[in-house]
Amino acid sequence: MKSTNTFGVHYILRQNRSVDGKFPVYVRTTVNKSRCEVALKSYLLKEDWNIAKGAAKPKNQELKALNSYLEEVRSKIVTHYQRLALESTEVIACNFGSYEEQYWMV
């Protein structure tokens, strides 16, 4: 039996959790309308975040490095999702929770 899942990876700046004027970056994984959010332990000023792109504005080398990290995290999540789908494992957004903690840190 073949099933079709909807899948998405988005980055958000949580504006209700400010630390010294900076806001934490979260990755939101969505599968079939179920979502799971994980903090990436990165903090940015609101003016350094591009809401439309879901990435930092590449104003300096630090922000460019953060964008590279975000793309690497996205790649790892997508690879993990594809592996779960190939194994015919039921894929839900929080299946990525333990994977995120073990493998995201570069």
pLDDT of residue 1: 47
Say what the pLDDT of residue 11 is.
95
Alpha-carbon 81 to chain mean position: 13
Give the residues of the chain that fall short of pLDDT 70.
1-3, 89-106
What is the predicted pLDDT for the residue at 92? 64
Tell me what pLDDT residue 5 has: 73
Segment holding 97, helix H or strand E: helix 97-103
Output the pTM of the full model. Answer: 0.78
* pLDDT value of position 46: 92
At 25, which amino acid appears?
V
